[in-house]
């Protein structure tokens, strides 16, 4: 196939992700397509026209699906799908706007080959989506954000957006993600500091208060890894608003939901504010019924241990606040577990070992 650009695919720093590009002289940036290895079959996203070497590589590796992030990123999707036998996927809202038919439609919250679909609002089309894989610390956008200048991010020109302010506020959903890397369909991908780059783009915008959100605008979710009865729904708030030293989350506990096992921290002090409902709180000092507008502190150390659940019919809504400290260690006294947060190491607290245990 003809056209400029680097031949073949380039491996990125993101595990299992390759890209190939086509230079756009009128925009002074690359258009990028992505190939992603997954356990559920390989995925291609927003493919630009591949050269013969790239197409041969795609055929050899095998592709299960081609995903299109928005109406204007159909690009070479139909040709790549036809050449590889892949199915085509698009958002339910944008699928009717595409030139070629799709075999599957998705909505925000769906999972596609291990990547969670993120909905974006106020952009060119109502069905603009992004992808997120926490295990790879990465997200992928089509042209919602442009990687320009290299190492930074830019929202596309206001004239191209349905609602520029709403689009910028919607971009906060990307800042709320636990990512180091942002793969972009237009421009240079951001590797290593994507969270900071997204925040810098949002903070540079005048005319909106990006550090504000109402509780009724949040979408607390349960996760597939929830283990009964620890099934409370949680919305990340601090990262979404750009907090740097404090963490905020909004928890919703239905009847029978527990937020977390009994635990306490060595460096992170917590504060709960009951906004609605009558949840139950267990501490080393006893078990207590809480009520709306209760404010409860959990200092560091064993005396700050706590466990929260809801026995009432009414949902409980609780704002949870804590300082964030990568050096924190969390203790779970009921199960004698210790979590080292910086490494994710989870071990038993007993029996204690001698410093030279196992050494020779």
pLDDT of residue 217: 95
For the 215-348 domain, the top CATH level (class) is: mainly beta
Domain ranges of the chain: 10-203, 215-348
pLDDT for res 322: 98
* Residue 67 to residue 81: CA distance in whole angstroms: 10
As a CATH number, domain 10-203 is 3.60.15.10
Please report the pLDDT score of residue 227 as a whole number.
87
Query: What does the block give as tokens for 231?
Result: 């099934």
- Mean pLDDT, contiguous 10-residue spans, the chain (360 residues): 59 98 95 98 98 96 98 98 98 98 97 98 97 98 97 95 96 97 99 98 95 95 80 96 96 97 98 99 99 99 98 98 97 97 92 88
Residue 242: what pLDDT? Answer: 96
Question: Tell me, what's the pLDDT at 2?
Answer: 36
Tell me the CA end-to-end span of the chain in Å, nearest whole number: 63
pLDDT for res 352: 87
User: Any long-range contacts for 201-204 (C-beta under 8 Å, 24+ apart)?
Assistant: 201/145, 201/152, 201/153, 201/154, 201/155, 201/171, 202/168, 202/171, 202/172, 202/175, 202/242, 203/242
Which residues, including other chains, have CB under 8 Å from residue 325's CB and lie 6 or more apart?
Answer: 267, 268
- Chain mean position to CA 71: 22
Long-range CB pairs of 294-298, under 8 A, 24+ apart, other chains included: 295/271, 296/271, 296/272, 297/269, 297/270, 297/271, 298/264, 298/265, 298/269, 298/270, 298/271, 298/272
3 state SS of 231: coil
Q: Which residues contact 281 (CB under 8 A, 6 or more apart)?
A: 272, 287, 288, 289, 290, 296, 306, 307, 308
Given this model, what pLDDT does residue 1 score? 35
Q: Give the pLDDT score at 8.
A: 82
Report the C-alpha gap between 63 and 148 in whole angstroms: 30
């Amino acid at each position: 196939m003809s056209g400029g650009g680097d031949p073949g695919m380039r491996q990125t720093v993101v595990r299992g992700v390759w890209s190939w590009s086509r230079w756009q002289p009128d925009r002074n940036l690359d258009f990028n397509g992505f190939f992603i290895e997954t356990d559920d079959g390989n995925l291609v996203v927003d493919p630009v026209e591949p050269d013969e070497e790239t197409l041969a590589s795609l055929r050899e590796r095998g592709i299960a699906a081609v995903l299109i992030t928005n109406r204007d990123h159909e690009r070479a999707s139909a040709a790549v799908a036809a050449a590889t036998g892949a199915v085509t996927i698009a958002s339910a809202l944008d699928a009717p706007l595409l030139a070629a038919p799709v075999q599957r439609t998705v909505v925000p919250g769906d999972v596609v080959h291990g990547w969670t679909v993120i909905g974006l609002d106020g952009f060119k089309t109502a069905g603009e989506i992004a992808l997120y894989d926490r295990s790879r610390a990465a997200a992928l956008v089509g042209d919602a954000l442009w990687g320009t200048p290299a190492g930074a991010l830019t929202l596309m020109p206001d004239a191209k957006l349905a609602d520029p302010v709403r689009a910028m506020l919607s971009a906060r959903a990307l800042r709320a993600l636990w990512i180091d890397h942002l793969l972009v369909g237009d421009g240079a991908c951001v590797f290593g500091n994507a969270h900071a780059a997204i925040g810098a783009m949002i903070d540079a915008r005048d005319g909106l208060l990006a550090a504000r959100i109402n509780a009724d605008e949040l979408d607390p979710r349960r996760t597939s890894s929830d283990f009964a009865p620890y099934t409370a729904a949680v919305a990340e708030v601090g990262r979404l608003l750009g907090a740097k030293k404090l963490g905020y989350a909004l928890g919703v506990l239905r009847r029978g939901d527990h937020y977390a096992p009994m635990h306490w921290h060595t460096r992170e002090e917590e504060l709960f504010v009951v906004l609605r409902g009558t949840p139950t709180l267990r501490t080393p000092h006893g078990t207590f019924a809480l009520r709306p507008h209760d404010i409860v502190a959990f200092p560091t150390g064993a005396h700050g241990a706590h466990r929260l659940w809801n026995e009432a019919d009414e949902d409980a809504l609780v704002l949870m606040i804590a300082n964030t400290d990568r050096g924190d260690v969390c203790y779970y006294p009921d199960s004698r577990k210790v979590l080292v947060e910086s490494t994710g190491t989870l071990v038993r607290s007993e029996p204690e070992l001698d410093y030279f245990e196992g050494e020779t």
